[in-house]
Amino acid sequence: MFLKKLRFLACLCVLLIVVAQNGFAQVIIENLQWNPFLYQKSLANSQSLTRRANIQRINRVIPMNPRFGFFDDFSLTTNGGPDTNKWLPGSGVYINNSFGIQPPSLNVATFDGMKANGQAYTDTLALKGYCDTLTSRMIDLRGALTPGDIAELRFSLQPGSRAPATIADTNSFMLVQFNKNVPTDSTWRSIYSQKGIDEIRVDSFYRVFLEVPNEYITGAFQFRIINFGQRNGWFDTWNLDYIQLHRLENNFDTLSDITFTTPISPLLRKYTALPRAQFQAGYSRLISDSLVAEVRNNRPEPLLPITFVPNIAFYAQPGNRNIGTVNPALINGTFFAPPNNIKLLNVSATRATFPRLDTLPDSVKSIEVHYSLNAQGTQNAIRSNDSIKSVVRIANEYAYDDGAAESILYVQGPGSRGAMEFDAFVADTLTGVSMYFPPIRPIRTVTTPISFLLRVWHRLGSSPTDRDSIIYQSSEVVGYAQSLQGFTRFATSRPVAIPQGKFYVGWQQIANVENEVRVGYDLNYTDSSRFWYNREGTWTKFTGTKGALMIRPEFGTFQNPSSAFNSKEGVSKVRIFPNPVSGSTFYIDGCIVAEANLYNLQGKKVCPINISDSELSFAEKPKTGMYLLLGTDTKGNSIQERILVK
């Protein structure tokens, strides 16, 4: 499914790359060096009372569940961080369903070189050291066990991840430590360590079994898991899942559990979002032939089948209105998971059983598909991992991606081009394009703007002499994402008519700009054939690592780009000159400015603007780059214009 990865250390920097299948290093897939999800989460936590409450509960002791002990498979986590009822905050571990390969259950905990705030532990390239630490809260083992009982810690571990070239090498390792937390001894002691491997990729998890020595059977036992590896990004990664700390019964565990392991297959063949007109016009060609889910029997030896009755329900949002349910008798596959904790069972429903979805009212903005297992009797001890859902947005935009980038993709060389292929099932009007630009360094070090040509094609030329059919082009500047959903939107300067059929949206790198345009790449998408690249005059379909480039064309009623920031009173139509600005003074024509400030493209205020009639000046001369002038005129209208400072 994935191509082999090539890892190398350059003289001045470390780049982890994937080479396109044709063997030429033209399309590069690179690891992220920060995590936008955790970055945004850390900002929210710093402004909430949750963080203070977590700190106050650090010394709280939690009891063992009498049935299955201390257990976490991270399946209930939705905010990217571990459950603070079980784990101490600030671990740096990233809970996700993107990086695990054939995990034991939905979601894994990924250890890497990024802190809890989403930024790298260090900007120093290739520096190794201790990184993420997942620490349990204090657990009352003494109250849960009787003399002679044996306690065991089990977990599933995987070196590397789905992201390209993130395998943990032999100079990295995972470490497990125990702590008694008694008055005479609160020292952390190493119990287990595992080195990385010199492999390209590991496609499965392996189980680790650690007996807890009697001296650690205390009323405040703790354990922690630490990774040692490269500290400047998504490198030397490990995935952790299905953690159990429990009492052994007759030297084997009798915990029964069936679980989903991956997201439900897409409701639509290609897209995660579509404009309403396109969804309705292309419905028969868009709906998948079936919905498939992978179910796994995690019951250890002795193996037993577990009976369950799957159920699929469709909901319209907003309002959570049930618009149809698939009868379990119409869901294909046996109702018994195979008695094997490795083999997976595919449970699917066919297209003929789905409710009709293209006739929903305009008030419906998304369709959710809920898949549940409904295990029978008491055979299934863990119920939290028995349901999953997928979402299709009926919006004003196309999307292949799920909103989260696992990697970065770019095309090498000045003047190179990249384009995503889309289907217009009916003629429509393009009003903007959103692109996701994850920085390859922490935001604080990104200072040089990267210019590019945003392009929309009706047709890509088949050869250097066959000219492309370009229907829109504008000069733009990369704006880096500061959150998981941090797309940069580029409004078109005019309505762009898109005829029925295929069209392409992408970029051309400016010939004299050395830095490539790096776009977020979603590895959860199972196809790469929608991306085309052109480096030396010929367009080539990308056949490398499967995924989706995070580019979203927007459709609807055209709106002037500046009106996106309108006040209720309107917007001033103005002209700034000279532009680019080489000095400190410039002029504005078309209104009388009352107040204005200069912002960078990440939305941070740079400096106020001094105003003297139509003459404006920077209170403090900014660095070279592209900026936004935002303000109001004397009539209360808003002002929003771009300024290039030289």
Task: Tell me the pLDDT band of 306, cut-offs 50, 70 and 90.
Answer: low
- Residue 147: what pLDDT? 78
- Residue 314: what pLDDT? 93
Amino acid residing at 13: C
- Residue 352: what pLDDT? 86
Q: Which residue has the tokens 């490795």?
A: 342
End-to-end Cα, the chain, rounded Å: 47
Q: What percent of the chain clears pLDDT 70, i.e. is strictly above it?
A: 77
- Residue 245: what pLDDT? 93
Tens digits of per-residue pLDDT, 168-196?
788 899 999 999 998 889 899 999 999 98
Helix (H) or strand (E) holding 134: strand 128-135
Distance between CA atoms of residues 112 and 407, nearest Å: 14
| Equal CATH topology for 407-555 and 569-645 | no
- Residue 341: what pLDDT? 43
- Residue 24: what pLDDT? 43
Mean pLDDT throughout 480-495?
A: 76
Alpha carbon separation from 301 to 1, 231, 385 (Å, rounded)? 31, 39, 20
46's tokens = 């710093």
CATH class of 407-555: mainly beta
Q: Which pTM was predicted?
A: 0.75
Decide if 333 contacts 345 (C-beta within 8 A).
yes
CATH class of 569-645: mainly beta
Distance between CA atoms of residues 414 and 412, nearest Å: 7
Task: Tell me the pLDDT band of 483, cut-offs 50, 70 and 90.
Answer: low
- Residue 558: what pLDDT? 52
Distance between CA atoms of residues 636 and 571, nearest Å: 8
User: Is the pLDDT at 569 greater than 50, yes or no?
Assistant: no
Q: What percent of the chain clears pLDDT 90, i.e. is strictly above it?
A: 31
Task: Tell me the pLDDT band of 493, cut-offs 50, 70 and 90.
Answer: confident
Distance between CA atoms of residues 429 and 496, nearest Å: 6
Task: Tell me the pLDDT band of 563, cut-offs 50, 70 and 90.
Answer: very low
Pairing outcome for strands 387-395 and 273-275: parallel
Three-class SS of residue 566?
A: coil
Task: Tell me the pLDDT band of 268, cut-offs 50, 70 and 90.
Answer: very high
- Residue 148: what pLDDT? 80
173's tokens = 């390792």
Q: Give the contacts of 352 (CB within 8 A, at least 6 positions apart).
A: none
CATH class of 33-251: mainly beta
Q: At what angle do helices 36-46 and 49-56 cross, to 10 degrees?
A: 80
Worst-scoring range by mean pLDDT, 62-71, 133-142, 561-570? 561-570
Mean pLDDT throughout 110-137?
A: 87
Three-class SS of residue 50?
A: helix
Alpha carbon separation from 446 to 416, 480, 486, 625 (Å, rounded)? 22, 9, 16, 11
- Residue 14: what pLDDT? 34
417's tokens = 């081009």
User: Is the pLDDT at 137 greater than 90, yes or no?
Assistant: yes
Among 118, 233, 164, smallest CA distance to 521 is for: 164
- Residue 636: what pLDDT? 60
Tens digits of per-residue pLDDT, 589-607?
777 788 888 887 656 778 8
User: Is the pLDDT at 201 greater than 90, yes or no?
Assistant: no
- Residue 374: what pLDDT? 76
- Residue 447: what pLDDT? 47
User: Is the pLDDT at 304 greater than 50, yes or no?
Assistant: yes
- Beta partners for residue 455, in sequence order: 473, 506
Mean pLDDT throughout 4-30?
A: 44
Worst-scoring range by mean pLDDT, 311-320, 346-355, 535-544? 346-355
* 52 secondary structure, DSSP code: H
624's tokens = 């070279």
Higher local confidence (pLDDT), 449 or 356: 356
- Residue 238: what pLDDT? 93
Neighbours of 137 (CB within 10 A): 19
In the chain, where the domains are located: 33-251, 260-276+290-393, 407-555, 569-645
Higher local confidence (pLDDT), 54 or 228: 228
Tens digits of per-residue pLDDT, 623-642?
888 888 877 777 666 677 88
- Residue 334: what pLDDT? 44
Q: What is the mean pLDDT of the chain?
A: 79
Distance between CA atoms of residues 77 and 37, nearest Å: 13
Task: Tell me the pLDDT band of 59, cut-offs 50, 70 and 90.
Answer: low
User: Is the pLDDT at 54 greater than 60, yes or no?
Assistant: no
- Residue 441: what pLDDT? 57
- Residue 460: what pLDDT? 93
Mean pLDDT throughout 383-411?
A: 89
| Phi, then psi, of 216 in degrees rounded to 5 | -95, 0
Worst-scoring range by mean pLDDT, 129-138, 420-429, 442-451, 515-524? 442-451
Decide if 306 contacts 379 (C-beta within 8 A).
yes
DSSP per position, 438-455: --SS-GGG--S--EEEEE
Task: Tell me the pLDDT band of 367, cut-offs 50, 70 and 90.
Answer: very high
User: Is the pLDDT at 495 greater than 70, yes or no?
Assistant: yes
- Residue 271: what pLDDT? 94
Mean pLDDT throughout 47-62?
A: 51
Three-class SS of residue 270?
A: coil
